[in-house]
Amino acid sequence: MPGGVSLAPYGMPYYSLNGHPVTEPGAVATGLIRCGRVPHLVATAPGSVRAGARLACYTFLLWYYIILVSEQHHLELTDVFVRTYRELGRREAEPQIHATFYPFSTLRHNIRRRGDRLVARVSDILQAAPEEILECVAHILFGKLFRLRIKAEYRNIYWAYALDEEVDRRIIDVQRLRSRKIYGDGNGSMYDLQGAFDRLNRQYFDGQISVAHIGWTQHQAKSRLGFFDEIRNRIVISRLLDHAQVPPAVFEYVLYHEMLHTVHKAQIRHGRRCVHYDEFRRDEMKFLHYSEAKQFLAGWGAPAKGARRI
């Protein structure tokens, strides 16, 4: 591995990269510093210069190696996207394509137009995935961007890999490490989440449902009235429902809906990830005030398309 460490005159440590001495730790590998990804190396106290310099050297070498490997992966990923784009046979001039692995907090990917460039970001959870999986991701993203019909084959291959137990464990580890969202407890000014959960659990699920946490969002989320976090086994309800203008039947329906997700887990059907499939909808309609709640939500403040969904 390139690099080394020596002791300069007067016992002052300096670092060398490819044989070129660098006396300031913060200036090590100037080309890498521009990315803001090289941390300050460990400062050494008098009397521990050699040990400190050695530790600093190892820290830098490890970081330098990680960056080299990461950059290589980005180049390989861009090659995959370029090849996939050419397979589409589009008549327009080929745009500049740049694809990178990005540290999303879950398994998600996106692609954007930026002038005459296409910029794709793929979850770094797939950094060790086979090239076939990355090609499927590229086909899916290009299909969504250009509104093309995506072959079920690509979706099936991708989701078979994404739902693998090993990948699932990796997703859980990443979410626990990166997720910063903070949610409140179940105490509301109008409704008691925990009390309602226990009541619905007895009435519809024979008390069989168990979650690690149930709570309100910190703010009045309008785009999503509730969700079940399968990774952390928790149910979160928008504080927007904790209001006197919201009938109890509507509040309980949204909570019941999320409780159903603990029973009916996501499935892959026809190459797509489905959460509201037929079995789910049939059980959802068993809620005593289903029609009343749906009617209220449909006309609640004439929500915009895509808003106030569960």
What are 51-100's pLDDT values in tens digits? 556 666 656 555 544 444 455 566 789 999 999 999 999 988 999 999 99
All domains of the chain in start order, with CATH: 4-69 (no CATH), 88-178 (no CATH), 193-299 (3.30.2010.10)
Rounded-to-integer distance, Cα 305 and Cα 281, Å: 21
Name the pLDDT band for 148 (thresholds 50, 70, 90): very high
pTM summary value: 0.54
Which of 264, 262, 263, 252 lies closest to 288, judged by CA?
252
Most confident of 18-22, 167-171, 200-204, 233-237: 200-204
Which residue would you say has higher pLDDT here, 18 or 49? Answer: 49
- pLDDT over 50 (residue 191): yes
pLDDT of 18: 38
User: Which pLDDT score, from 0 to 100, does residue 5 have?
Assistant: 32
What mean pLDDT do residues 284-309 have?
Answer: 75
Q: How far, in Å, CA of 159 to CA of 155, rounded?
A: 6
Please answer whether residues 220 and 240 qualify as being in contact, where contact means their C-beta atoms are separated by less than 8 angstroms: yes
Give the sheet arrangement for strand 117-123, strand by strand: 96-102, 117-123, 109-114
Residue 179 or 135, more confident: 135
Among 9, 19, 18, 3, residue whose Cα is nearest residue 56? 3
Alpha-carbon span 155 to 98, nearest angstrom: 22
Q: What percent of the chain has pLDDT over 70?
A: 70
95's CB contacts (< 8 A; 6+ apart) are: 116, 117, 118
β partners of residue 7: 13
What pLDDT band is residue 301 in, cutting at 50, 70 and 90? low
Question: 302 vs 122, which has greater pLDDT?
Answer: 122
Can you say whether residue 302 is alpha, beta or left, with left for phi > 0 and alpha for psi between -120 and 50 degrees? Answer: left
42 compared with 126, residue with greater pLDDT? 126
